[in-house]
Amino acid sequence: MDIARTPSTADGNPQLADAPPEPKEPAIIRREDYAPFAWLVPTTHLDFDLGLERTTVVATLQVERNPAADPSPTIRLNGDGLTLESLSVDGAEHAGWTMEGDDLLITLPGDAHQLQITTIIDPSANSALMGLFASNGMLCTQCEAEGFRRITFFPDRPDVLSSYTVRMEASKADFPILLANGNEVETGDAEGAEDGEERHYAVWQDPWLKPSYLFALVAGDLVARRDSFTTMNGREVDLAVWVRDGDLDRTEHAMESLKTSMKWDEETFGREYDLDIYNIVAVSDFNMGAMENKGLNVFNTKYVLADQDTATDGDFDAVEGVIAHEYFHNWSGNRITCRDWFQLSLKEGFTVLRDQLFSQDMQGEAVKRIEDVRILRGIQFPEDSGPLAHPIRPDSYREISNFYTSTVYNKGAEVIRMMRVMAGEAAFRAGCDLYFDRHDGEAASCEDFVKAMEDGTGLDLAQFRLWYRQAGTPKVEVSLEHEGDTATLKLTQTVPPTPGQPAKLPMPIPLKIALLDRETGQHSGEQLVMLDAPSKTLRFDGFAKAPVLSINRGFTAPVSIERTVPRDDLVFLAAHDDDSFARYEAMQELMVGVLLDAVNGTGDAQAGRQAVATALRAILTDEALDDSMRGELMLMPSQTYLMEQMLTAQPGAIHAEREALKAYLGRELAAELHALYERAEAVPFGMSQEARGARKVKTQVLIYAAASDPAKAAELAAQQYAAADNMTDRQGALMVLCGLEGPERDAALADFYERYRGNPLVIDKWFALQAGSLHPDVIAHVKALADHPDFTLRNPNRVRSLYMAFAASPHAFHSESGAGYSMIADLILALDPINPQTAARFVSPLGRWRRMEPGRAALMRAELERIAAADSLSRDTYEQVSRSLG
Ligand code: B3K
Ligand code: ZN
């Protein structure tokens, strides 16, 4: 019987059912509708007959009624684009099934059954890179969030935990390595194919229960860097980083990062690894950074491969951070997973915090904190103030892939970090221990986490739960007055309205503050102030002279501080604040104020520029500062951050004023910048903090020079490029050259391409540096690069390297003609049928239209409408475009 064409109704009467018409609007899934699944799936056996173009999957599921759920006569198995080849229930053909959309509904009479389901899939045709797909001749999977349903019919939801056994059979020559989750329990030769091809098989068993999104398999021609780790209780773990032949010598840093992460999680969170094997596989076609599948992480090559010649210091840090992140998920994500996808921040926010704390310990706390806040403010704050704003625990979605956002990840981490600040480190650890103990082996909720924190720390988090419910970045207005010997601090908060949340309640906001003596820069200790009402007034006695306020030290709360401070106070803080973050912040605030005055034509422009020059001079010449921190303090606020500070953004004016200030500073401080460059240039290559800092400031100096003296900058950058013995120097020089016109630019670009031809990750840099450059002809360059033989829409890294770099570069993307907008809209339309998840990521830059001056706003909106009018948009892109149009 060809059951693929003879579905029956759920009550068992075979009939030819008309497929329901595809709804125009994808359904909205709501958090409040959560109900446990009616069936348990204690065991899952998967049998794969693997081939690039044809893979047969036989899934055998034991299912039992879930006593904790409302009973149902049918079991819903999710599918996505699958064709059912055969179905049996308890070993016999079964007529009682029907299709509902892509899902398979089977009527089950008893309390426990065995289902066997066969599907056939074509991995080579899977350009969405979800489910089982082919990449460079290998096969691998990506199942989070809902990719497993593209492999077989299954209750593809995170609260259905099952014990998995996986048998893979494949050609020995094409797929010599066969990996899946857990431990390898059997291998051997399989019956050869008709054409004489030798075949083999492997069986893997995962002893831990897991949801389907953590399932993984990899088959391919791979080689491994091997090592081992002994856990705190003496378990020997075999570690392997699998890559394609030829990439092995770029895996040392990844392996070291893995071992360091394992040790750190034992020491810091008391978490031990729980399998005998930990495999990491690098693939070049991947939608995101990496995936924490149990015992078998799959990584984008970008976060595995690194060496001095091909990776920058930033790349090294990113590899370390992502390796740690995926490893930490083994507890915060795998041992305790999410009840439903609305709880995503339970695992992602917590794991981001864990990886941030790890990187702070590895790379230095001050600089890492500044970098993390820069990411938050550069990406999450705009998200929070735009049409895609949502709480860290969203209330509804159409496509969950759209909610792997900076809000869920980075703001989610900030929310847990606030609990840590309020509780103190020791109590926070007690709260984490309680959470891990209480919920180990479960699919938990954000509420479970907060409750464990409350019970473990003794904090009352009743009001704090608002951070999970309310979207939007709170604004805190700050004023400090001084009279007699009393300083009076007034704090007022407002939480802006966001889509679906017009009115907000006041949030508890923990702010670390210090009051600095304006002569000496000393203070008598930090204090933690809780702003938990609309406003609060605090008095501090014993100040004969007005102190200087240092607030939100260490960025204890993810809020916008709004205050009117005399410029001199900011110059003072930039030079003297003993909190590194606050010092950086003072410098940023100073530059933001001066630039916005310039754009708005307010204030004394010359006095403002001079104030910045005074502050920057002090930073350039401060011998007590290490260069890594100096590099941070030298950074000008990004155009995106500046636009975010304006009610109606004027990208053209912001870009012009930012360049003008840079040029002014470059001229005014030419001598100091030059001296700094010369000193840094003399530091030999190494991975020490000193050597890394030296590389960072060198490129910063080039950036200022490019604005003030382009000819000199081109010469210096060309020299740095030619002399470079590492990618940080080479990329820094090329980045600056890309923004300038002249023979040095062309020569360096040609050299870079030739030198790294055939190394996709470095060629990605070549695309990104041109697309994100300050050159006035960027749009033309991007158009030409899209026709380059190395460009393809099929590889997400390549797409991002060209178009994300461009869309994140406001002076080009917001070009007055609207050409940047139409370029991104064209990309979305072309990419959507190939890779909807990646296409949908490009919608948010266009979604900022409400914050733009009217001319650009209209052009952006028109492009969104053009996309919305297209036939058969994916659910991913449909959702983002419709929310953006509002
Ligand atoms: N958990 C994965 C993200 C999966 C994204 C699916 N669209 C990687 C991570 O956060 O570690
Ligand atoms: Zn994660």
Closest Cα to atom 3 of ligand 1:
291
φ, ψ dihedrals at 261, nearest 5°: -65, -40
Please determine, for residue 237, whether its predicted confidence score (pLDDT) is greater than 60.
yes
Instruction: Summarize pLDDT for 16-26 with one digit per residue, the tens.
Output: 344 544 556 89
| Residue 247 CA, ligand 1 centroid: distance in Å | 24
- Give 886's contacts (C-beta < 8 A, 6+ positions apart): 387, 499, 850
| Residue 144 CA, ligand 1 centroid: distance in Å | 6
Nearest-10 crossing angle of helices 425-439, 252-269:
100
Q: How far is CA 338 from CA 448, 643, 768, 842, in A?
A: 10, 36, 36, 27
pLDDT recorded at residue 196: 87
pLDDT recorded at residue 24: 66
Instruction: Summarize pLDDT for 35-93 with one digit per residue, the tens.
Output: 999 999 999 999 999 999 999 999 999 999 999 999 999 999 999 999 999 999 999 99
Tell me how long the chain is: 886
Closest approach atom of ligand 1 to CA 292: 11
Instruction: Summarize pLDDT for 308-366 with one digit per residue, the tens.
Output: 999 999 999 999 999 999 999 999 999 999 999 999 999 999 999 999 999 999 999 99
Selection from 755, 761, 734 nearest residue 746 by Cα: 734
Does 326 qualify as catalytic in the annotation? Answer: yes
Residue type, 165: T
Q: How far apart are CA 412 and CA 352, in angstroms?
A: 8
Closest Cα to atom 2 of ligand 1:
291
Closest approach atom of ligand 1 to CA 325: 11
Closest Cα to atom 4 of ligand 1:
144
The ligand minimizing its distance to the Cα of 323 is 1
The matching CATH number, chosen from 3.30.2010.30, 3.90.1150.10, 3.30.930.10, 3.40.50.620, for 226-330 is 3.30.2010.30
Q: How far apart are CA 729 and CA 680, in angstroms?
A: 11
Check if the beta carbon of residue 346 is closer than 8 Å to that of residue 442: no
Instruction: Summarize pLDDT for 253-294 with one digit per residue, the tens.
Output: 999 999 999 999 999 999 999 999 999 999 999 999 999 999
pLDDT recorded at residue 637: 97
CATH number for region 365-469: 1.10.390.10
| Residue 396 CA, ligand 2 centroid: distance in Å | 20
Closest approach atom of ligand 1 to CA 322: 11
pLDDT, averaged across the chain: 96
Report which secondary-structure segment, H or E, holds 140.
strand 138-142
Q: Which of 130, 146, 288, 880 most suits a substitution to test ligand 1, by most atoms within 8 Å of the C-beta?
A: 288
pLDDT recorded at residue 63: 98
φ, ψ dihedrals at 454, nearest 5°: -60, -50
The terminus-to-terminus CA distance of the chain in angstroms comes to 49
- Its CATH architecture, for the domain 1-221, is Sandwich (2.60)
| Residue 90 CA, ligand 2 centroid: distance in Å | 38
Closest Cα to atom 6 of ligand 1:
144
Residue 588: strand, helix, or coil: helix
Q: How far is CA 115 from CA 65, 165, 611, in A?
A: 13, 15, 74
Pocket of ligand 1 (CB under 6 A): 144-145, 288, 290-292, 325-326, 329, 348, 401, 404
The ligand minimizing its distance to the Cα of 352 is 2
Question: How many C-beta atoms lie closer than 10 Å to residue 345's C-beta?
Answer: 28
Q: Which of 348, 403, 409, 835 most suits a substitution to test ligand 1, by most atoms within 8 Å of the C-beta?
A: 348
Domain ranges of the chain: 1-221, 226-330, 365-469
Whether the upstream peptide bond of residue 145 has omega within 30° of 0, thus cis, is yes
Selection from 207, 178, 346, 204 nearest residue 274 by Cα: 207
- Give 302's contacts (C-beta < 8 A, 6+ positions apart): 289, 315, 318, 761, 764, 797
- Which position among 146, 292, 326, 383 bears the catalytic label? 326
The ligand minimizing its distance to the Cα of 354 is 2
Residue 353: strand, helix, or coil: helix
Instruction: Summarize pLDDT for 163-221 with one digit per residue, the tens.
Output: 999 999 999 999 999 999 999 999 999 998 788 899 999 999 999 999 999 999 999 99
Q: Which two tokens stand for residue 397?
A: 């979605």
pLDDT recorded at residue 84: 97
Residue 283: strand, helix, or coil: strand
Closest approach atom of ligand 1 to CA 348: 10
Closest Cα to atom 1 of ligand 1:
291
Global pTM reads 0.97
* HEC sequence for 63-121: EEECCCCCCCCEEEEECCCCCEEEEEECCEECCCEEEECCEEEEECCCCEEEEEEEEEE
| Residue 422 CA, ligand 1 centroid: distance in Å | 29
| Residue 36 CA, ligand 1 centroid: distance in Å | 23
pLDDT recorded at residue 399: 98
| Residue 52 CA, ligand 1 centroid: distance in Å | 24
Check if the beta carbon of residue 663 is closer than 8 Å to that of residue 610: no
Instruction: Summarize pLDDT for 27-37 with one digit per residue, the tens.
Output: 999 999 999 99
Selection from 299, 418, 279 nearest residue 353 by Cα: 418
Instruction: Summarize pLDDT for 614-636 with one digit per residue, the tens.
Output: 999 999 999 999 999 999 999 99
Residue 250 DSSP label: G
Q: Which two tokens stand for residue 94?
A: 């079964």
Q: How far apart are CA 795 and CA 284, in angstroms?
A: 8
β-sheet bridge partners, residue 89: 92, 115
What percent helix, strand, coil does the chain show, rounded to 5? 45, 20, 35
Residue 3 banded pLDDT, cuts 50, 70, 90: very low
Instruction: Summarize pLDDT for 804-839 with one digit per residue, the tens.
Output: 999 999 999 999 999 999 999 999 999 999 999 999
Closest Cα to atom 9 of ligand 1:
291
Residue 814 DSSP label: T
Closest Cα to atom 8 of ligand 1:
291
Same fold, 226-330 and 365-469: no
